[in-house]
Structure 1
Amino acid sequence: MSKHARILTLPNIITLIRVATIPVLVVVFYLPFKWSDVLASALFLAAGLTDWLDGYLARKLNQTSPFGAFLDPVADKLIVAVALVMLVQVHATIWMVVPAMVIISREITVSALREWMAELGQRSKVAVSSMGKIKTVAQMVAITMLLGLKPAHMVSGSVEMTALLWLAYACLYVATALTLWSMLRYLRAAAPQFRAAPRRRP
């Protein structure tokens, strides 16, 4: 089997499609139509579901690969970061800016931490935990709802829309709290390496 064949497995193709969805999501979100927010929300939700699907297929078909292990988390972080940046613009309040800042900062910090721990051969100590998966679900639910609730397109005084907006923010803040908690756990697991004596380079 060629190298290209090993890379272009079905799970990896699905992940690549998720990456390709990002510019489409941005364009759809800014279309000057009332239904653009609902379509953007549906696209983000579909992308989130493919995150589960590609992992399931990789295990089911025994098609796990180093390329897939690299690309899958990158795809997730890219689409979440882009969605949060767009939401900060349309939900331009501190209540949106703070969780967006925390979530994006955490992803950068943990990614750097995992790379550093991998260089030390301690990657398993900062592997994804069950808490991280719960955080991801809450985050996806919150962003999906917020993308579909542009303030400019919401019905003024609608009790249903207001309730949905509050629910979306509740999910976002649950995700933010879990984000901080999981980051602190990762940092605590890596703390012995921070205190270790420096190693000499060959």
Structure 2
Amino acid sequence: MIGYLEGTILQFESDGILLLVGSVGYEVLLNPQMVEKLMSREATDKMISLYIYYHQTERQPKPVLIGFESPDDKEFFQTFITVDAIGPMKAVKAMTRPSSDIARAIETKDVSFLTGLSGVGQRTAEKIIATLHGKVKKFMLVTKDENQDKNQDKKEMKTESFAFEMLDIGRQVEDVLVEQLGHSPASAKRMVKEALEANDKISTPEELFDEIFGKN
């Protein structure tokens, strides 16, 4: 089983590359945003490394190699294809945005973002959220370049985690303001936004309510 390849790009295909490893050329499928990324770097004849998902079934007897830039991207892909009706071939075409962005959309239940992915309609987007919500938070953190300072990585991870937590707190409070206290959605969103801007030390829904009603 092939799990990793390192070589040079002989040529770009419409949906991937022909990768020369030693004296053997491997056809490797890549998601659209990765193809664009490699083309913009003029990566032909330069050494690249790919983590490989090997796909072969009775319905797909010809082996297919799908390449990823990192183990995290490969793991997200393997999680993504657990959704009914999203097989490997459909998934690789759908990943027109970074896996971290797709994971964020799933965790925030952003249907409009998901329907913007290639081949994903309203029902499929809802099925993705129903299947994966709560399971892909760890992929929301953008993978940094290996040469970047590790302390900076930790800082970015902490900031990203905090931002997601505040988004969740804000949504909880907005729901209560609208459903229980009779405010309009626009008014509730404004109240939450103003309170968070006024007090950056808020860390719970209760503290957010105190800030809102102390000023309104």
Same fold (TM over 0.5): no
Higher strand residue share: 2
Higher relative contact order, structure no. (Cα contacts within 8 Å, ≥ 6 residues apart)? 1
Higher helix residue share: 1
Q: TM (normalized to structure 1)?
A: 0.32
Q: TM (normalized to structure 2)?
A: 0.30
